[in-house]
């Protein structure tokens, strides 16, 4: 099994580097200054256990990387970049190519399945940072992440079992699951606070209140839409104490993946795919979702205007919701 890791930033960079170190054939797809840095000096992988530079091959597109029979393509770009990425992929990959959505959110799989027959979802519990070209940081050690996965929309097959085995060989904890989307919907509830922490930070009481609001609203909408969601206790029990955060000298300012989009000033953020999923479901089912709608709108605007994280006080957003 060879891996084409498409969108090799924080998550894809660490995964690709660790698979490469575990002996797998890996090709990264990256872009911009990050691609230039990997090509020039390898990918620097930092973690609480130390740092190493991994000479993993990197390419600028699927056409350059090539996608051969037997390759698995792992999508690790943020959800807003998935449609363009799939478009470039379909030009060179057979429709039978396994496509693995190792991403937050629940919409990437459906986009991929329209174009590719064999799609897999991964529930990504894997705190990771990428703020500097050529450098990725794994926050948890010794296990960097939990990557449970399954076939989309449901089921487990031989490829799912081989993927889990490969991820485990690379140091992750991974289990094939027939109901992976129910786990990903639980993760979505957690990620509804990504935009809150990007906009306001997550330290003050107001930010905590706003995070609770978007999550409670998300739970209500998912339940009303009749969506199967793993319960919070089962999810917590699965995670147990697998992820550990020992001291990490040299760690970047971190924050979640959405905050990193603002820190890097990428111009986009994953809020339409996270909070926007709740807004969409609410609209489909005739329900209100004002907190997720507000947070989504403001996060997209903040990214577009290249505001730094913490620019929008949670108190202001809460006041707007009370109006
Ligand atoms: N970081 C974390 O702690 C966690 C992240 N996740 C999820 O994992 C997914 C990936 O997040 P993360 O790794 O943080 O994101 P990053 O932004 O760090 O990495 C994605 C990379 O993909 C690149 N990219 C996007 N489109 C293309 C393309 N068409 N061709 C080449 N490169 C491309 C981006 O480039 P550019 O920078 O130029 O946009 C970026 O370097 C998201 O769904 C996120 O929510 C899940 C759990 C934890
Ligand atoms: C849970 C969390 C916050 C872990 O980093 C995440 O999924 C993200 O950053 O998107």
Q: What is the DSSP string of 1-57?
A: -EEEEESTTHHHHHHHHHHHHTT--EEEE--HHHHHHHHHH-EEEEETTEEEEE---
138 lines ligand 1 (CB under 6 A): no
pLDDT for residue 255 is more than 90: no
- Domain limits for position 122: 2-178
Task: Let me know if residue 9 belongs to a domain.
Answer: yes
Q: Mean pLDDT throughout 48-69?
A: 97
One domain, residues 31 and 7: yes
Q: Mean pLDDT throughout 191-201?
A: 97
pLDDT for residue 220 is more than 90: yes
pLDDT band at 22 (very low <50, low <70, confident <90, very high): very high
One domain, residues 266 and 192: yes
- Residue 270: give its domain's CATH number: 1.10.1040.10
One domain, residues 36 and 125: yes
One domain, residues 116 and 192: no
What's the pLDDT score for residue 174? Answer: 98
Q: Which residue is closest in CA terms to ligand 1's atom 42?
A: 78
Q: Which residue is closest in CA terms to ligand 2's atom 2?
A: 256
Model confidence, pTM: 0.98
What's the pLDDT score for residue 270? Answer: 98
Contact between residue 300 and residue 195 where contact means Cβ atoms under 8 Å apart = no
One domain, residues 189 and 91: no
pLDDT for residue 191 is more than 90: yes
Which of 137, 127, 165 has the alpha carbon at shortest distance from 149?
165
One domain, residues 216 and 261: yes
Cα 154 to middle of ligand 2, angstroms: 24
Task: Let me know if residue 269 belongs to a domain.
Answer: yes
pLDDT band at 2 (very low <50, low <70, confident <90, very high): very high
Copy the structure tokens of residue 170: 């690379």
What's the pLDDT score for residue 252? Answer: 75
103 lines ligand 1 (CB under 6 A): yes
Q: Mean pLDDT throughout 190-211?
A: 95
Q: Mean pLDDT throughout 277-287?
A: 98
pLDDT band at 251 (very low <50, low <70, confident <90, very high): confident
Q: Closest ligand 1 atom, CA of 84? A: 29
76 lines ligand 1 (CB under 6 A): yes
pLDDT for residue 86 is more than 90: yes
Task: Let me know if residue 163 belongs to a domain.
Answer: yes
127 lines ligand 2 (CB under 6 A): yes
One domain, residues 20 and 161: yes
Which comes out higher in pLDDT, residue 149 or 254?
149
One domain, residues 40 and 105: yes
Cα 82 to middle of ligand 1, angstroms: 10
Task: Let me know if residue 233 belongs to a domain.
Answer: no
137 lines ligand 2 (CB under 6 A): no
Cα 323 to middle of ligand 1, angstroms: 36
For 66-117, give the DSSP string: ---TTEEEEE-S-GGGHHHHHHHHHTTS-TTS-EEE-SSSSSHHHHHHHH-S
Which of 224, 198, 227, 223 has the alpha carbon at shortest distance from 210?
198
Q: What is the pLDDT of residues 147-178, one digit of tens each?
A: 999 999 999 999 999 999 999 999 999 999 99
Q: Closest ligand 1 atom, CA of 264? A: 37
Q: What is the pLDDT of residues 87-116, one digit of tens each?
A: 999 999 999 999 999 999 999 999 999 999
194 lines ligand 2 (CB under 6 A): yes
Average pLDDT value for the chain: 97
What's the pLDDT score for residue 249? Answer: 83
Contact between residue 270 and residue 194 where contact means Cβ atoms under 8 Å apart = yes
140 lines ligand 2 (CB under 6 A): no
Task: Let me know if residue 298 belongs to a domain.
Answer: yes
What's the pLDDT score for residue 253? Answer: 76
Ligand nearest to C-alpha 273 = 1
One domain, residues 142 and 198: no
DSSP assigned state of 244: -
Look at the chain and report how many structural domains it folds into. 2
What are residue 2's phi and psi, to 5 degrees?
-110, 150
Cα 131 to middle of ligand 1, angstroms: 11
256 lines ligand 2 (CB under 6 A): yes
One domain, residues 131 and 191: no
Task: Let me know if residue 28 belongs to a domain.
Answer: yes
- Residue 163: give its domain's CATH number: 3.40.50.720
One domain, residues 200 and 306: yes
Q: What is the ipTM of this complex?
A: 0.99
Q: Which residue is closest in CA terms to ligand 2's atom 9?
A: 256
Task: Let me know if residue 14 belongs to a domain.
Answer: yes
Task: Let me know if residue 234 belongs to a domain.
Answer: no
One domain, residues 252 and 213: yes
Q: Closest ligand 2 atom, CA of 124? A: 7
């Amino acid at each position: 099994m060879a891996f084409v890791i498409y969108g090799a930033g924080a998550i894809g960079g660490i995964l690709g580097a660790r698979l490469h170190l575990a002996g797998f054939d890996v090709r990264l797809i990256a872009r911009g200054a990050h691609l230039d840095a990997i090509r020039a000096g390898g990918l620097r992988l930092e973690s609480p256990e130390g740092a190493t530079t991994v000479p993993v091959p990197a390419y600028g597109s699927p056409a350059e990387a090539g996608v051969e029979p037997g390759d698995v393509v792992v999508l690790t770009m943020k959800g807003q970049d998935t449609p363009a990425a799939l478009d470039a992929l379909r030009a060179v990959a057979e429709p039978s190519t396994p496509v693995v959505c190792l991403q937050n959110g629940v919409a990437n799989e459906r986009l991929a399945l329209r174009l590719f027959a064999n799609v897999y979802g991964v529930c990504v519990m894997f705190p990771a940072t990428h703020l500097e070209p050529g450098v990725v940081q794994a926050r948890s050690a010794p296990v960097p992440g939990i990557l449970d996965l399954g076939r989309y929309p449901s089921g487990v097959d031989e490829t799912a079992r081989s993927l889990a085995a490969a991820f485990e060989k690379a140091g992750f904890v991974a289990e094939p699951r027939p109901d992976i989307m129910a786990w990903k919907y639980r993760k979505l509830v957690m990620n509804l606070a990504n935009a809150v922490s990007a906009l306001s930070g997550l330290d003050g009481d107001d930010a905590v209140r706003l995070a609770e609001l978007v999550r409670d609203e998300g739970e209500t909408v998912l339940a009303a839409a009749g969506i199967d969601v793993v319960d919070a206790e089962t999810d917590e029990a699965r995670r147990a104490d697998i992820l550990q955060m020992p001291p990490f000298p040299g760690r970047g300012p971190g924050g979640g993946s959405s905050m990193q989009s603002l820190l890097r000033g990428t111009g986009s953020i994953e809020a339409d795919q996270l909070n926007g999923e709740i807004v969409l479901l609410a609209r489909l089912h005739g329900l209100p979702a004002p907190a997720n709608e507000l947070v989504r709108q403001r996060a997209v605007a903040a990214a577009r205007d290249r505001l730094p994280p913490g620019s929008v006080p949670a108190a202001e957003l809460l006041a707007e919701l009370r109006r």
